[in-house]
Structure 1
Amino acid sequence: MIRFASLALVPFIALAATSAEAKDILVHMKNMGKEGAMVFEPALIKAKVGDRIIFNPTDPSHNAETLPSMLPAGAEPMKGALNKEVSMTVTKPGLYGIKCMPHYTMGMVALVQVGHPSAADVAAAKAAKLPPLAAKRMAGLLDRVR
Structure 2
Amino acid sequence: MTAHKFRFTCLHHSLLGGLLALCSLFAAPAWSAEHVVRMLNAGASGSMVFEPAFVHAQVGDTVRFEPTSTGHFVRSLAVPEGATPWLSELDLPFVVTLARPGLYFYNCPPHLMMAMVGLIQVGEAVNRSSATQVMKSTKGRIYSHAERIDSLLALVN
TM range (shorter): 0.7 to 0.9
Mean Cα deviation higher: 49-58 or 12-21: 12-21
Question: Which residue does 1:126 correspond to in 2?
Answer: 132
Q: Does structure 1 residue 141 correspond to structure 2 residue 147?
A: no
- CA–CA separation in structure 1 for the residues paired with 2:115 and 2:44: 14
Q: Does structure 1 residue 117 correspond to structure 2 residue 128?
A: no
User: 1:139 Cα deviation (Å)?
Assistant: 2.0
TM-score by length of 1: 0.83
Q: Does structure 1 residue 89 correspond to structure 2 residue 104?
A: no
- CA–CA separation in structure 1 for the residues paired with 2:153 and 2:23: 35
User: 1:19 Cα deviation (Å)?
Assistant: 1.2
The one-letter amino acid of 1:85's match is: P
Q: How does 1:60-75 map to 2 (within 5 A)?
A: 60-67=70-77, 70-75=78-83
Identity %: 36
User: 1:122 Cα deviation (Å)?
Assistant: 2.2
Question: Which residue does 1:34 correspond to in 2?
Answer: 44
Which is helix-richer, 1 or 2?
A: 2
- CA–CA separation in structure 1 for the residues paired with 2:25 and 2:101: 17
Number of aligned residue pairs: give it. 137
In structure 1, list runs of 5 or more residues that go unmatched.
Answer: none
SS of corresponding position for 2:138: coil
TM-score by length of 2: 0.77
SS of corresponding position for 1:102: helix
RMSD over aligned CA atoms reads 2.2
Q: Does structure 1 residue 55 correspond to structure 2 residue 61?
A: no
In structure 2, list runs of 5 or more residues that go unmatched.
Answer: 1-10
Deviation digits for residues 56-78 of structure 1 (CA, Å, limit 9, x no counterpart)? 001110001111xx110010111
Larger Cα-atom Rg: 2
Question: Which residue does 1:79 correspond to in 2?
Answer: 87
User: 1:98 Cα deviation (Å)?
Assistant: 1.0
